[in-house]
Structure 1
C-alpha cells in the first residue's frame, strides 16, 4: 500500500515492551501528528526508521519525529539517510538534518547574525588538556559536551575542583570526536530554558524547561520539569529569525533559547531532526504542521 507520509520513530517506541509515562508521551505526541495528517486526507503510517522490511520508495515523504536512537549507531543511520533520501522526500531535508546533527552549525548561525552562547569548538585529535583550554579561555565554570550528541550524552559541568577528574574521559572522547566547551550559564539554572516551536517559519507555542534542584540539565531524562510559557515579542522574533538564518527554511524547528550571563537572549540549540515538540500541550500545533506538510507534498 503506498503512503503519502510515514511518521518516523525508533524501534523501542515502535514496539514498546512497557508503557511508562515517558513512552506514553511519545505515543501521544506521534498520534497527534498522525491523526492530524489523516484528517487532511493523507495516507499515513508510523514506523521505526530502522524497520528492515519497509520499502521506503512506497511513501511520498517521511517525517522525522521520535527517532531518538539515531546517535547510538550513527554510521547505520547515516547510510540509511543516504539511501532513503534517494527514493522519497525527507522532512526536514537531508541537507538540514546532516547540518543540524553536528553542533558546529551554531557557528554558522552566529555568522548569520544569531546570538549563541560563547563556545569553543575542540576538534578531534586536539592534544590540549582541559586544564590548558580553561587557562586559555579564562573560563572557570564550564560545560563540556560532544558536537554530535543527544539526551545530554557525555555532558559534564566542570570547575577547578573536578576538572582533573574528567581529563581521562575527555582524552578518550576527543581522540574520536569533536567536543565543545562553553561557560556555564547560571541563568539556565535560575530561570530555565525556553523551547520555541516554529513551523514553516511561524512561531506556534512555547515551553519552559527547568532543571531539578541541584542539577543543571533541563531534560526530563534527568528530572527536569516542563511548564507552559507565554513568550515575549523579543523571544518570538529571535526564534523566527533563527530559523530564517538557516540555508533553507525548515518545515519544523524547535528553537531552544535562554538568557545568557549578560542577560541577552541566546540560542542554546536549534533542533531540526527529532525534537520533542510538546503537541500534547498545544494540540492545534499538530494540525498547523500537518497543513504545512500537505502543502509541501502538493507543490
Structure 2
C-alpha cells in the first residue's frame, strides 16, 4: 500500500503525539493518505511514501547509532523532512559551536570529549561560573541534564560529568536564572516563516504550562538569523532562546523532534501540511 506522507514516531507513541495528530488531520483534510510509522520497526517499507516527516522519535538519544543508521536507510528510500544532513547535524549539540562560528550568540558552552578529564572547579573559577548545567551533547527530555549550585561543583557536578564522559560526550554551561525568572522562549518557524512562539518551563520538560508569547522584534530577528546560519531551508524548527543583558542567546535549535505546540496556534498544522505537500 502506498501513502503520500509518513509521520515518524517511536515505540511508546505509535500513533504520534498531539502535534502529530493535528498534522495528520490537516494532511488528511487535503485528501492526502497519511500513516504513522515507528522508526525502529524493521517491517516498515520507507519507500511506501515519497515524503517522510521525522516527528516524535523521542528515544533516539538512547539509541544513537541505531537511529543514525535508520536515517541513512530512510534517506535512501524517501525524502526525509527535515533533510538527512540537517537531522544528522542537529542530533549532537556541538551544532551550537557551528552556529556560534557563524555569528549566532549562544549560551556559553564548554564541550567535553568522551574519556576526557576536566578540572571542573578550575574551569568554573576561570570563567566566573557559580552555577552550572551539565548534560550529554546528545540528549532529549532533560536526559542526563542536571543543575548544580556553586558548592556542588567540586563534588557532585564533577562526579556527574565524569559519569557522563565514561560513555558519551558532554557539555557544560552556566545556569542562567532567566530561564526561571523570564522563561525560555520557543519560536516556531514553518517553511522559514515565523508561525508562533510560547514560553517554556525551566529545562523544557513540562509543556502543559506553556503559553503563547509575543516575541519582540529583536527576538524575531534573532530567530531568523539562527535559521539562516543553518545553511539550508528547514520545513519546521523551534528556536529556543533565553533573554540576557546582551540580547537573546540561543539555548537550542530543535529540528528533529520538537514539540511545536501547534494547538496554541490555529492554522499552523494546516500551514505545515501545505508545505509538506507543496
Instruction: Report the equivalent of 2:48.
Output: 58
CA apart distance, 1:246: 0.5
Single out whichever of 58-67 and 160-169 deviates more from structure 2.
160-169
Single out whichever of 243-252 and 94-103 deviates more from structure 2.
243-252
Instruction: Specify which of 192, 197, 200 is matched with residue 191 of structure 2.
Output: 200
**2:249 maps to 1:259:** no
CA apart distance, 1:263: 4.7
Poorly superposed stretches of 4+, deviation over 6 Å: none
**2:248 maps to 1:273:** no
Instruction: Specify which of 220, 224, 241 is matched with residue 206 of structure 2.
Output: 220
Specify the SS of the correspondent of 1:12: coil
Normalized against structure 2, the TM-score is what?
Answer: 0.94
Specify the SS of the correspondent of 1:6: strand
Q: Where does the alignment leave 5 or more consecutive residues of structure 1 unmatched?
A: 16-25, 212-216
Specify the SS of the correspondent of 2:147: strand
Normalized against structure 1, the TM-score is what?
Answer: 0.88
Rounded to whole Å, the distance in 1 between the matches of 2:249 and 2:178 is 11
Instruction: Report the equivalent of 1:234.
Output: 218
CA apart distance, 1:138: 3.0
Rounded to whole Å, the distance in 2 between the matches of 1:166 and 1:117 is 19
Instruction: Specify which of 273, 279, 284 is matched with residue 267 of structure 2.
Output: 284
Instruction: Report the equivalent of 1:181.
Output: 172
8 A contact 1:29–1:278 mirrored in 2? yes
**What is the RMSD computed on CA atoms of the aligned residues?**
1.6
Q: Where does the alignment leave 5 or more consecutive residues of structure 2 unmatched?
A: none
Instruction: Report the equivalent of 1:112.
Output: 102
Count of residues paired in the alignment: 277
CA apart distance, 1:123: 1.9
Single out whichever of 89-98 and 127-136 deviates more from structure 2.
127-136
CA apart distance, 1:254: 0.4
Change (3 A) 1:55 1:31: same
